[in-house]
Amino acid sequence: MVLLPQNKGLVVGDLIHHNSHAWLEGGIVGGAPTPNLSAWIELLQDIKDDFSNFLPTFGGRGEVTSLKNAVDTQTNYLKVAEEIVEEYVLSVEEKESFEGETSAAHYQKISQLFSKEFPQYELGYLIDYGVYGLVNSKL
């Protein structure tokens, strides 16, 4: 995170992707993706509390907006993303179908669910290539 004191701006990098999909792989721990959306949300709230009057906010991807708007929107996105993935994984009886050649169909369906829920969001490829970490955490 970088503060821009002259224009009261804040650069938050990949913590916020305003009106763009987020990379949901998570950090790599022990060689495996380990997403922690609740910790991400908590960190966003801390940033909002500490820097509430910063405008504009520059995220890793997406549009520039106020910090409050960016955090509120990103928090909602992360909560809904977790719900989408959790509900989808629970709906699949054969969990092993998330491995190998059969996994592509699942990730395509998940991507479609994200597109339906967030039709105005850009960079859908971030879901296509990054949601596997969140999926694996729900298996």
> Is the backbone of residue 26 left (phi > 0), alpha (psi -120 to 50) or beta?
left
What is the tens place of the pLDDT at every residue in 45-97?
A: 999 999 887 778 898 899 999 999 999 999 999 999 999 999 999 999 999 99
Find where tokens 């910090």 sit: 67
Q: What confidence score (pLDDT) does residue 84 get? A: 98
For 111, half-sphere exposure in the C-beta direction (CA atoms, 13 angstrom radius) is 17
Written as one string, the DSSP assignment of the chain is -EEETTTTEEEEEEEEEETB------EEETTEEE--HHHHHHHHHHHHHHSTT---EEEEEE--B-HHHHHHHHHHHHHHHHHHHHHHHHH-S-GGGGSGGGHHHHHHHHHHHHHHH-TT-B-THHHHHHTHHHHHHH-
Q: Domain coordinates of the chain in residue numbers?
A: 2-138
pTM: 0.93
96-106 pLDDT tens trace: 999 988 899 99
